[in-house]
Amino acid sequence: MERSIINKSLAKHCLSGLNLTCSCCIIYTMKDFKKGVKYLAIAMQIGIDIALPIASGIYIGAYLDQRFSTGSAFLICGFLLGLGSSIAVVYRLISYQLDKKDDDKK
């Protein structure tokens, strides 16, 4: 979050001592808070979009390997399919967020 300093003379005592972020000098605005929550939500969405397809691919691949006694062929294929789909989903999500950010600036 971005911090705005109220008074530079007040800020000197914060930077000179151990208390680097005292409450008298720094204000967190609601806009900055919402921006931080938005970025946190995007980061969590990216984490889920990476983990879920890969885990699903591995689980289904392991099940198919056990069912058909094929060693680890389906496990590797499931991992690769999960990895590819997670890369595609994350790429689309990031592209959408960047396009949305560019539209907001106009």
Model confidence band, residue 5 (pLDDT cutoffs 50, 70, 90): very low
pTM above 0.75, yes or no: no
pLDDT digits (tens, 9 = 90+) for 46-91: 999 999 999 999 999 999 999 999 999 999 999 999 999 999 999 9
Please write down the HEC assignment for all residues of the chain.
Answer: CCCEECCHHHHHHHHHCCCCCCCCCEECCHHHHHHHHHHHHHHHHHHHHHHHHHHHHHHHHHHHHHHHCCCCHHHHHHHHHHHHHHHHHHHHHHHHHHHHHHHHHC
Q: In one letter, which amino acid is 99? A: D
